[in-house]
Chains A and B, each alone.
Chain A
């Protein structure tokens, strides 16, 4: 079955620690995205990548970092510089990065930092 996987589903960390969220897709999509969602809010774009070894900042990139060493993988690191990291994180992919392409979302990772 093709799709996007994110792991883990729940993640707990102490303040001041960096944490890396996994995102893998086997859809052979070129574009991948990371979003953040806070309770009762919409999704905000953190980073996106159109091709391997290339990625761009979204609207709220501060305190986050990504890598795209393989087409199928786009891990997100939440650094200690992120002031309010507790949130629901969603990874998505699409054939291309234009808005007309459907985005396929993973199940999400709920990060809690205390």
Chain B
């Protein structure tokens, strides 16, 4: 079971790029890396998912090095509305939901 480690909190100013790194040293061959965003008193929302190299969508990029032992979520030009908790998950594409673990996440605070 791949455990993930993320910074507890990060601060940024509006308009800056934010990079949140997640460590998952025990990632298995079949594991995918997924990031979710959660606002207070709401359910998490899927942001991006990847297996290796780089993935980009309309809201974020995900960088995964060749050894896959870490990953970095990149949020370009953050705004106040990006203030939220960000969770990194590592899970098996063929396994069960019991292997999915939402850690404490990274609390991102964006200010003017």
Contact = CB atoms under 8 A, between A and B. Distances in A.
Interface stretch (B40-48, B64-72, B74-82): B40-48
Contacts of B89: 99
A58 interface: yes
A59 B42 CA distance: 21
B50 to A, nearest CB: 10
A48 interface: yes
B43 A98 contact: no
A57 B96 CA distance: 11
B59 interface: no
A42 B105 CA distance: 7
Interface string B75-93: 0000000000001011111
A91 B90 CA distance: 20
Given A99-B95, A100-B93, A41 B104 contact: yes
Contacts of A57: 98
**Chain B: interface size category:** 20 to 34
A58 B97 contact: yes
Contact of A99 (B42, B87, B99, B104): B99
B55 interface: no
A43 B96 contact: no
A70 to B, nearest CB: 19
Residue of B36, B42, B43 with most chain A CB atoms under a 10 A cut-off: B43
Contacts of A41: 104
Contacts of A108: 41-43
B100 A45 contact: yes
B13 interface: no
Given A98-B93, A102-B49, A90 B43 contact: yes
Interface of A: 4, 31, 33, 35, 40-45, 48, 56-59, 88, 90-92, 97-100, 102-108, 110
User: Which 7 residue pairs of A and B lie closest in terms of their CB atoms, listed nearest first?
Assistant: A99-B91, A105-B43, A43-B102, A100-B93, A42-B102, A48-B97, A102-B46
